[in-house]
Amino acid sequence: MGTVAREINTVGVVGLGTMGAGIVEVFARNGLDVVAVEISEGALERGRANLSGSTDRAVAKGKLSAQDRDALHARVDFQVGLAALHSVDFVIEAVPEHLDLKQAIFAELDKVCPPHAILATNTSSLSVTEISVATHRPHQVIGVHFFNPAPVMKLVEIIRTVVTAPEVVADVEALCARLGKTDVTISDRAGFIANALLFGYLNHAVTMFENHYATREDIDVAMKQGCGLPMGPLALMDLIGLDTAYEILDTMYRRGGRDRRHAPAPLLKQMVTAGLLGRKTGRGFYTYTKQGSPVVVADELTPATGAHEAAARPIGTVGIVGSGTMATGIIEVFAKAGYEVLSVTRGAEKSAKVCESVKVSLNKAVVRGKLTEAERDAAIGRITWSTNLDHLADVDMVVEAVVEELTVKKALFASLDEICKPGTVLATTTSSLPVVECAMATHRPADVVGLHFFNPAQVMPLIEVVATIRTSAATLATADAVVSSLGKTAVDCADRAGFIVNALLFPYLNDAVKMLEASYATADDIDAAMKLGCGYPMGPFELLDVVGLDVSLAIQRELYLELREPGFSPAPLLEHLVTAGYLGRKTGRGFRDHTHR
């Protein structure tokens, strides 16, 4: 307590690949003298080129003046061999993720660096403790995990081992503050915070693609538009490098209790063996214009455009059953898109309430300049209000958005089967129940499809189109065409618990709860790690409180029941909070207290 941090003036960086050169830039930008070390003259030149390329781009974008760039370069001393680090205060290595290589470097640094020097590793998955024992000063060894690209990403994970001295932790925290970074200090555990949560999700996405559950494009679009993530999981794998991802997963699997979800997907190993490593080789899950390019080009897996249109049935009138938030949003979406809409609710009171909600929402759109008054009036004019299911006899499509209870939905589909004309598309908006159960409650399972809208339906651009093994090609084509006509993006997937988005999102949220439960990190640190380290719009605990802990628990239970994967079992802490009535923002308390905010 009360430790005063030492001033660190000269730093060393070992390994000048993308990551190492980025770390050099971060130090030099912030006024520190840097000794940048590589193994050979050729590697040193590549490192110099990495740094020049990055700083030249910053100048071109107006992020750095030419004068500041030149001053930055003047602070960097490029050298071959570790002997050049004889007088640094702090050294960090950023060499490939191989324990024996890192241990050999640390053993050498121990001999070369002055006795007071702090020795740091930028490892993202290896044991800092195992690296530290290669030295005679394990108390001065620490993990300092920067995120790629280091000059841009705000987060640094500081990893202390059981023997790291408190003053070393304080010195490194002060250094990170000087660099303008946000740090989270944690203990030495496989994957730390960000990678432990990120890579289980990425591996799950690879398995989804490997099993032909959905196309790579649909998986990536689903996570970007459904969760607001900056990149889809497969595109992110290509950016990270499939070999790097494989090493991280393999290390986490071996170090982290052999959780099957961290066992690298077989496809990942095959792609690495075949040299398909992502952007750096020009080919990974996607194909790129050339090595190192971010520009995707079409290949044999690129879906053909307009494959479905020919088989789509014409849809003019749409019935929407339900009176909740989702039903209200869906009524508005269809009416604005030009469809004749028939809203069916149970009772005149509910019908009046839904009508009022739709009008309030449309009026807001006019105030914001999203709709003209004429467009609002036309949309309202297309909606007919009813309390009688029999009025659905002549519609071309029915979308149900009633309560998420299978018995209720099955009873409704049995009624629709009797009422609706032949060829009517019957859609369920369920987010977690099996669509096939609804389909088999009818005598026309070929006409039943899932249309999973995201909340709020008026705003969210994504709809998951869910085909059961009985859904006909014409029904699927019709559903895709309708989604397109709504101005939304359709992603097609098979009928499996969670579809794409929830199946990838909720296990990640559940893992975050388990991490908190194990007292590994605080909710604030975990949220900061995912927002600043991975670019997520919200941290997992912020998101859980918004979604509702009861909703999250129900979805996680569905996933666990269907997949029987031990790692998917709901976190006990989540169950306890739900039992206690702490459901998130809607009750004023979840993982955080919202009553005084």
Catalytic residue set: 124, 145, 157, 195
Tell me the β-bridge partners of 492.
465
Looking at this protein, which amino acid is placed at residue 529? A
Q: Hunting for tokens 């994967």 — which residue is that?
A: 565
Spatial distance between the Cα atoms of 411 and 466, rounded to a whole number of angstroms = 20
Helices 194-210 and 523-534: crossing angle, nearest 10°? 60
Spatial distance between the Cα atoms of 55 and 65, rounded to a whole number of angstroms = 10
Q: Do 495 and 333 touch, CB atoms closer than 8 A?
A: no
Looking at this protein, which amino acid is placed at residue 180? G
Which tokens in the block code for residue 434? 């099996």
Which tokens in the block code for residue 406? 């299978």
Q: Where are the beta strands (DSSP E) in 337-435?
A: 340-344, 383-386, 397-400, 425-428
Question: At CB < 8 A and 24+ separation, what contacts does 2-7 make?
Answer: 3/166, 3/167, 3/170, 4/170, 5/167, 5/170, 5/171, 5/173, 5/174, 5/175, 6/89, 6/167, 6/171, 6/174
Q: Which residues contact 574 (CB under 8 A, 6 or more apart)?
A: 510, 513, 544, 549, 552, 553, 556
From residue 47, give the alpha-carbon distance in Å to each of 279, 281, 472: 19, 18, 56
Q: Do 497 and 565 touch, CB atoms closer than 8 A?
A: no
Phi/psi region, residue 581 (left: phi>0; alpha: psi -120 to 50; beta: rest), is left
Spatial distance between the Cα atoms of 521 and 451, rounded to a whole number of angstroms = 38
User: DSSP state, 276?
Assistant: -
Helices 540-547 and 501-517: crossing angle, nearest 10°? 120
Q: Hunting for tokens 């569905």 — which residue is that?
A: 558
Spatial distance between the Cα atoms of 259 and 191, rounded to a whole number of angstroms = 13
Distance spanning both ends of the chain, measured CA to CA: 31
Q: Do 528 and 184 touch, CB atoms closer than 8 A?
A: yes
Spatial distance between the Cα atoms of 450 and 39, rounded to a whole number of angstroms = 57
Distance of CA 407 to the CA centre of its chain: 33
Spatial distance between the Cα atoms of 460 and 437, rounded to a whole number of angstroms = 27
Which tokens in the block code for residue 277? 């490593």
DSSP string, 203-232: HHHHHHHHTTSS-HHHHHHHHHHHH--SS-
Spatial distance between the Cα atoms of 268 and 464, rounded to a whole number of angstroms = 26
Looking at this protein, which amino acid is placed at residue 40? S
Containing 22, the helix (H) or strand (E) segment is: helix 18-29
Angle (CA) 47-48-50 rounded to 5° is 60
Residue 303, preceding bond cis, omega within 30 degrees?
no
Which tokens in the block code for residue 328? 């209200």
Closest CA to 234 of 203, 256, 213, 261: 203
